[in-house]
Structure 1
C-alpha cells in the first residue's frame, strides 16, 4: 500500500507547531509547499485534517485522532534517524508507571537521575495500561498489582503504610478517635488495594451504610482532594510522602492500625536487565527507595495488627 510519507511528516510538523509558517521554517520549505502537502494527505485520506484559525491552524476531529495515532511513531523514527546520523548520541530510556506514582513520587526525584546520566533521555509514560513487552518499546514498567506476572523480572518497589489523612485545619493530628471517622466524608480511590471497609474491620467497627463518601479512580486525585479539605482519605505513605513532609496532610487518628501493603512492582523482561540504561535506572531507583524509607512518616502510636 502506498503511503505518502512526505505529506505525513509535513502534517506532523504543522500539527505539532499549530502553524503552517512554523512548519515551513522547520522543514526549510515554503508555506505554500506545506499547504500543498497537507491538502495531498487530506485527498489521500478522504477527510479534512486542518482548518485555518486566525494566523494559525487547528486540527479537525479527524486530524486530532490521526495526529494522536502517528505522533509517537514519527517521533521514534526521528530519534532513530538522528541517532544513526550521529547528531544525537543519546540513549532513550522509556519508563511506564502508574499515574499516581509518576506524578507523586517518581517525577519529583527524576532530576537527580537525569543529572547523573546526561547521556540518557527519559520518556515517562504515566498510565495504568499493562505493557506488552513483545510489542511495545518500553524498557521498564512500575506496575500496580500483587507482583504475579510469570515470565517477567519482578521486584517489589517498597512496602507502604496505609492510614487516614486530612488537612490539619480539617482535623489536627491525633485529634480523632477511630469510631469518629464514620461521621466524616470519606475519600476513596476505587483502585486502591486498601479500602475503607478493610480499615474499619481492623478496628472492629461496622460503619453505617449511610456513610458520606466521594470516589475517585486515581489515588493522586484522592490525595489532592484530602489536601483541598474535602474530607478524609485512606492512602499510601509512598504516594503522599511530600504532603506528609510539608504538613499539608496529617494523620488525624490516635493510634492507627499498622496496615502494610506492597502495591508497586518493577517489571521488565529478564533480558532487559543486561541493558546499561535499565541497570542504571534500577540502581538509582533502589537508592531513592532507601532515602524515602529513611525519611518515611510513621503516625505516632501506630500499632501492629496480627
Structure 2
C-alpha cells in the first residue's frame, strides 16, 4: 500500500519551524503569516496522528517524533529542490549567486574578478551585496562570504583568512610629513571603523602609556573608512585584508606601530542542507588560491 504523503506546504512549514525553533522566524522565511505556519503545523500533526512540536516560552521545541522527522525531512526537501533545479532546461546556465559584504566586494573581491572571468568564461556570477547574516536555505543564494566569529545557525562556515589591524595614512597626508613614532599619532585625527578595536588598544600595544586618543570620526562601514583615509582626512586603524591592494599600490602607507590580530575572520558560508554546486566549488577553490597568493607589504 502506498503511503499518503502530506501536502508540501505543511512539510515545508514544519521543516522551517524545526530548523529555527520559532513560528515567527519560519513565517518570515516562508513569506507567510504566523497564523498560516501554525495552521500548517496543526494540519500536519492531524494528518500524521502525532504531536511534532510543543510551545515553550516564545518558541517551540520538537517532540521525540518531531526530532526523528525533522532531519530526514530536511534532507528530502533539499534533494527534491536539487532534482527540480537540475531538471530545468537552463540549469547549467543559471548564474552562481554569491552574497558578499559590500566592503569586501569593493576592496578585495571585485578587483580580482576579471581574472576569474578570464579563467572560467562559462561560469556566470551574480553578486548580492548584503551586510545581513544571510539565510541560505531556499533563498537562491549558493554561498556567502561573511566577516565575524564563524558561528551562525543553519550554515557551515569555513575560515578563509584572518587579518590584522594596521595604522595607515595616505603618503600625501600633511604633505608627506608623516608620523614616525606611535606616540606622534596622538597629535593627528584618528579615524576608525566602529566594528574594530579602539585606538586605545593600539596605543597600549605600542607601549604608549597613558595615551588618551582624541574623539575622531568613526565609520560604520570599513570601505568608507578606507575612502576617508585615502582622501587624506587623517590616520586610520584599518583591516589589512581590505587595505591590502591600496598598500601594495602605494596609495596607503603603514605607519610604525603594532599589528593587532583582528577579533574576527573571513569565512566562506554554505548551507548545511544544500550541496554546493560544482561551479560554486570552482569559485571557492579560486578564492582560496587568491588568498594564498596574498603577501601584505610592510
**Is 1:137 aligned to residue 153 of structure 2?**
no
Aligned partners of 1:91 and 1:119 also within 8 Å: no
**Is 1:296 aligned to residue 296 of structure 2?**
yes
After TM superposition, the score normalised by the length of structure 2 is 0.64
Gaps of 5+ in 2: 1-83
Compute the displacement of 1:238 (Å). Answer: 0.7
In structure 2, do the counterparts of structure 1 residues 168 and 250 end up closer, same or farther at CA, with 3 Å as the change threshold? Answer: same
Aligned partners of 2:137 and 2:274 also within 8 Å: no
**Alignment match, 2:103:** 100
Compute the displacement of 1:119 (Å). Answer: 2.3
In structure 2, do the counterparts of structure 1 residues 135 and 212 end up closer, same or farther at CA, with 3 Å as the change threshold? Answer: same
**Is 1:245 aligned to residue 248 of structure 2?**
yes
In structure 1, distance between residues paired with 2:177 and 2:123? 43
**Is 1:191 aligned to residue 191 of structure 2?**
no
| Alpha-carbon displacement from aligned partner over 1:232-257 (angstroms, at most 9, x marks no partner) | 0101111011110111110122xx22
Aligned partners of 1:184 and 1:212 also within 8 Å: no
Compute the displacement of 1:271 (Å). Answer: 4.3
Aligned partners of 1:187 and 1:234 also within 8 Å: yes
In structure 2, do the counterparts of structure 1 residues 273 and 109 end up closer, same or farther at CA, with 3 Å as the change threshold? Answer: farther
| Alpha-carbon displacement from aligned partner over 1:71-115 (angstroms, at most 9, x marks no partner) | xxxxxxxxx9xx9565x9513111111111000000011112222
RMSD: 2.5
**Alignment match, 1:287:** 289
Aligned partners of 2:136 and 2:143 also within 8 Å: no
Aligned partners of 1:173 and 1:252 also within 8 Å: no
Alignment counterpart, residue 116 of structure 1, candidates 115, 119, 134:
119
After TM superposition, the score normalised by the length of structure 1 is 0.63
In structure 2, do the counterparts of structure 1 residues 151 and 89 end up closer, same or farther at CA, with 3 Å as the change threshold? Answer: closer
Secondary structure at 2:128 match in 1: strand
In structure 2, distance between residues paired with 1:207 and 1:100? 30
User: How does 1:1-306 map onto structure 2 within 5 Å?
Assistant: 84=88, 90-170=93-173, 175-192=179-196, 194-204=197-207, 205-208=209-212, 211-253=214-256, 256-261=257-262, 262-292=264-294, 295-297=295-297, 299=298
Paired residue total: 211
